[in-house]
């Protein structure tokens, strides 16, 4: 059935043999995870391969039968089979053979030039590339950690896709495609191939954690339990009378009866700190026989300045009354 394009809708053929597909939110969730993975791999390449201009880009995602993936995979390709406990089953990471040879050459200190036609890796090259692949897969697992924690273990390397039967040929797989660009125009592609049954719960976990555009538009409503817990959290409050700078010699000579001069007058407003930050201004006093402070206003507010002015005026009037009484 051909694709029919209208003015506002696009009709696409539906395969009744494979009705299971990732929905739009799940595809976007995998895309967001892949973007974070690309940034992490770019940093890894800079340190691991000493490549200043390394860059990895996410090219897109495809949902295809596994047999179609096998038919379109060139031979030889570097196919890393990996498991992902605690989940069951295996998945694949496929590298272009030329790109894998460039990575091995640069990892060994060479210029990164893959000479000759594509070929399988030797045993030594497999060991070198295997360490790099394990680092790469570790970064990919970290990209999912916020939604679903799992580890990745490299199980083996093949060069012919026929020997990497992770699912049945008719089963659906999700293929994420990436492009790796190194220095001097060296570039190639690699892919991550997940069985649909494995990647779907991971993508759903990311989608339910709000890593999509629709959830970003929804205002967050804190639960009542969280609100009560935050409301009961103790906060340290401290009133600062003033500060003074002393040398170590002066500090060692302090004794009973000595007077330390602070950096403010006795009638200056005091700083009230919450969590180490000055939030209010206050004046010292007493209440019911206990030492107390009266808050004048927030730090830097005009209301606080007005209240401080009123307090100064009241204090001047009290001093005037005392002098008149004398």
Tens of pLDDT, residue by residue over 150-163, are 888 889 899 998 88
User: Of all residues in the chain, what percent carry a pLDDT higher than 70?
Assistant: 78
Range name among 129-143, 225-239, 256-270, 293-307 with the lowest pLDDT average: 293-307
pLDDT greater than 90 at residue 15: no
The torsion region of residue 224 among left (phi > 0), alpha (psi -120 to 50) and beta comes to alpha
284: its two tokens: 């010292």
pLDDT digits (tens, 9 = 90+) for 67-113: 999 999 998 999 999 998 887 889 999 999 888 988 888 888 887 77
Tokens 């492009």 correspond to: 179
Sequence ranges of the domains in the chain: 11-216, 236-325
Nearest by Cα to 104 from 73, 131, 142: 131
CATH superfamily for domain 11-216:
CheC-like (3.40.1550.10)
- Predicted pLDDT at 130: 92
pLDDT greater than 90 at residue 55: no
Which residues lie below 8 Å from residue 56, measured CB to CB, with a gap of 6+? 37, 38, 41, 42, 45, 178, 179, 180, 181
pLDDT greater than 60 at residue 132: yes
- Predicted pLDDT at 258: 87
CA distance 90 to 255: 74
pTM metric for this prediction: 0.58
Decide which of 50 and 141 is more confident: 141
- Predicted pLDDT at 216: 44
Q: Average pLDDT of 289-313?
A: 65
pLDDT digits (tens, 9 = 90+) for 192-233: 999 998 888 888 888 876 544 444 444 445 556 667 767 777
CA distance 300 to 308: 11
191 confidence band (pLDDT: 50, 70, 90): very high
CA distance 306 to 310: 6
Which residues lie below 8 Å from residue 74, measured CB to CB, with a gap of 6+? 96, 97, 118
- Predicted pLDDT at 176: 94
Tokens 């002098």 correspond to: 323
CA distance 146 to 206: 8
Question: CA-based diameter of the chain, in Å?
Answer: 108
236-325 maps to which CATH number? 2.30.330.10
- Predicted pLDDT at 241: 83
- Predicted pLDDT at 226: 67
- Predicted pLDDT at 218: 46
Angle at 48 between CA 47 and CA 53, to 5 degrees: 60
């Amino acid at each position: 059935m051909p694709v029919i394009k209208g003015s506002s809708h696009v009709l696409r053929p539906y395969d009744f043999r494979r009705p299971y597909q990732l929905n739009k939110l799940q595809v976007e969730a995998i895309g967001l995870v892949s973007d974070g993975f690309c940034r992490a791999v770019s940093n890894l390449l800079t340190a691991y391969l000493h490549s200043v201009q390394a860059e990895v880009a996410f090219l897109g995602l495809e949902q295809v039968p596994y047999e179609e993936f096998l038919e379109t995979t060139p031979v030889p390709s570097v196919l890393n089979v990996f498991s992902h406990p605690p989940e069951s089953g295996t998945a694949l990471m496929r590298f272009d053979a030329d790109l894998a040879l460039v990575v091995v050459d640069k990892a060994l200190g060479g210029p990164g030039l893959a000479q000759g036609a594509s070929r399988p890796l030797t045993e030594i090259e497999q060991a070198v590339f295997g360490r790099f692949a394990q680092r790469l897969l570790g970064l990919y697992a970290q990209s999912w950690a916020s939604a679903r924690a799992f580890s990745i273990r490299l199980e083996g390397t093949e060069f012919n896709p026929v020997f990497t039967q992770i699912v049945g040929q008719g089963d659906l797989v999700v293929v994420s495609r990436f492009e790796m660009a190194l220095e001097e125009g060296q570039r190639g592609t690699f892919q991550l191939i997940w069985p649909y049954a494995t990647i779907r719960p991971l993508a759903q976990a990311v989608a339910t954690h709000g890593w999509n555009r629709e959830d970003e538009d929804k205002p967050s409503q804190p639960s009542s339990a969280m609100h009560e817990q935050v409301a009961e959290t103790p906060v340290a409050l401290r009133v600062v009378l003033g500060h003074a700078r002393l040398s170590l010699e002066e500090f060692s000579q302090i004794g009973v009866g000595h007077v330390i001069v602070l950096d403010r007058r006795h009638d200056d407003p005091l700083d009230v700190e919450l969590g180490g930050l000055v939030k209010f201004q206050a004046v010292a006093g007493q209440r019911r026989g206990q030492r107390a402070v009266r808050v004048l206003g927030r730090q830097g507010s005009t209301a606080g300045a007005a209240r401080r002015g009123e307090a100064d005026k009241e204090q001047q009037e009290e001093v005037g009354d005392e002098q008149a009484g004398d």
